[in-house]
Copies of this chain bind each other. A is one copy, B any other.
Amino acid sequence: MKAVVLLSGGVDSTTTAYLAARSGYEIYALTIRYGQRHERELDAARAVCRELDVAEHRIVQLDFGAWGSSLTGQAELPTAGVGEGIPSTWVPMRNLIFLGMASGYAEVVGADAIYIGVGQVDYSGYPDCRQEFIEAYQRAADLASKQFVEEGRSIPVLTPLMHLPKSGVIRLGLNLGVDYDLTWSCYAGGAEPCGECDSCRLRDAAFAEVYASRPKS
């Protein structure tokens, strides 16, 4: 069995990659390099791929920094904490485009599934992390697919973290043996995590919650 995994090198996608690997899939990891501030993520993705001994790791260049999101350097990163509404770190249609690339890659390598680590609980307000979007995407991808049109065979998009809070993701990952020291979450692009961006805050709070509830050893 082969699975394409969208792997950014953060907590969610790394946990997802481990879950796919532990489920017996050969991993075809896909990392999109799209001019994000946090290129440090790419090194994290590479480290995870080495650790999981993946079949292949493709890093694909996609130039959509020009569209203006704080995540690609055109605006200030918000540091006031996760609030209401969709934040400036939103990159329009990011998951739709990334999934399209994953579906294309899956078709070419003959994959049985596509894994993406999105979730609608602690999702920073991005619309394309929700179950409803994933279902609509599946329909569109099926209808665009050679395999579906010729053989009726769909490549399912699997979202095992969809309904987990970030702390649940980390609990799951620790049970799967994920080494979170390999991962990278900070949006800011420094050598150390800034501790102030939304992504650092979500990560730090989740780890604090998980460790607070663990039995002392």
Contact = CB atoms under 8 A, between A and B. Distances in A.
A67 B56 CA distance: 13
Interface in A52-109: 58, 60-64, 66-68, 85-86, 90-97, 100-101, 103-105, 107-108
A127 B101 contact: no
A141 B96 contact: yes
A128 interface: yes
Contacts of A94: 104
Contacts of A192: none
A144 interface: yes
A137 interface: yes
A36 to B, nearest CB: 15
A22 interface: no
A47 interface: no
A26 to B, nearest CB: 18
A145 interface: yes
- Please give the count of copies of this chain that the complex contains: 2
Contacts of A211: none
B108 A92 contact: yes
A65 to B, nearest CB: 10
Contacts of A64: 60, 101, 104
A67 B143 contact: no
Given A63-B61, A86-B150, A143-B133, A104 B128 contact: no
A143 B96 CA distance: 10
A135 to B, nearest CB: 8
A50 interface: no
Closest 4 CB pairs of A and B: A93-B104, A92-B104, A128-B144, A97-B100
24 contacts: A60-B64, A60-B66, A62-B62, A67-B105, A67-B108, A90-B146, A91-B104, A92-B103, A92-B104, A92-B105, A92-B107, A92-B108, A93-B103, A93-B141, A93-B144, A96-B140, A96-B141, A97-B97, A127-B145, A128-B144, A132-B143, A133-B140, A136-B139, A136-B140
